[in-house]
């Protein structure tokens, strides 16, 4: 019954981020960071320093962002699984003794 609570929570998150795509499918969905960058460039400002390295294409950038998320998710999943397994093992021991 406790897991139902988490399913509802996750469903809220999914619906909340799916809703804009459903209701405004033709919007641009460009990043707010680049919108701010654009707003500054419109004032005539020229950045005085450029990144020392840039991902050569949008695909490579997506790849690196995916790796960042995957690395984080891997650690979270490992931690959660490890702790649950440890607890389960302990529970078996206490029921046996």
Partner 1 sequence: MHIMEGFLPHPWWEIWFIIALPFIAYGIYKLSKVTKKIPEALPLLALMGAFIFVLSALKLPSVTGSTSHPTGTGLAAVVVGPGITSVLSLIVLIFQALLLAHGGLTTLGANVFSMGIVGPLTAYAIWVACKKVRLSNSVGVFLAAAFGDLITYVVTSVQLALVFPTSAGFFDAFLKFGTIFAITQIPLAIGEGILAVILFDFLAKYKGQLLATLKVIKLPHSTPAQEAAKQ
| Distance, CA of 71 to CA of 21 (rounded, Å) | 27
Residue 10 touches partner 1, criterion: CB under 8 A: yes
Query: Quick check: 65 binds partner 1 (CB under 8 A)?
Result: yes
Binding mask 25-44 for partner 1 (x = CB under 8 A): --xxxxxxxxxxx-xx--x-
Which residues have C-beta within 8 Å of that of residue 63, sequence separation ≥ 6? Answer: 55
What 3-state DSSP class applies to 27? coil
Q: Are the beta carbons of 82 and 90 closer than 8 angstroms?
A: no
> 69-88 mask for partner 1 (x: CB under 8 A)?
x-xxxxxx--xx--xx--x-
Give the largest CA-CA distance in the chain: 75
How many residues lie near partner 1 (CB under 8 A)?
Answer: 52
Task: Tell me which residues touch partner 1 (CB under 8 A).
Answer: 6, 9-10, 12-13, 16-17, 19-21, 24, 27-37, 39-40, 43, 45, 47-55, 61, 64-66, 68-69, 71-76, 79-80, 83-84, 87
């Amino acid at each position: 019954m406790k897991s139902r609570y988490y399913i509802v929570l996750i469903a809220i998150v999914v619906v909340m981020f799916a809703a804009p795509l459903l209701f405004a499918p033709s919007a641009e969905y460009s990043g707010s960071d680049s919108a701010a960058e654009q707003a500054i460039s419109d004032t005539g400002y020229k950045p005085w320093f450029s990144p020392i390295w840039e991902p050569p294409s949008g695909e490579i950038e997506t790849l690196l962002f995916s790796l960042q998320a995957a690395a984080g998710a891997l650690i979270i999943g490992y931690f959660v699984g490890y702790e649950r397994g440890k607890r389960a093992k302990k529970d078996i021991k206490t029921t046996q003794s």
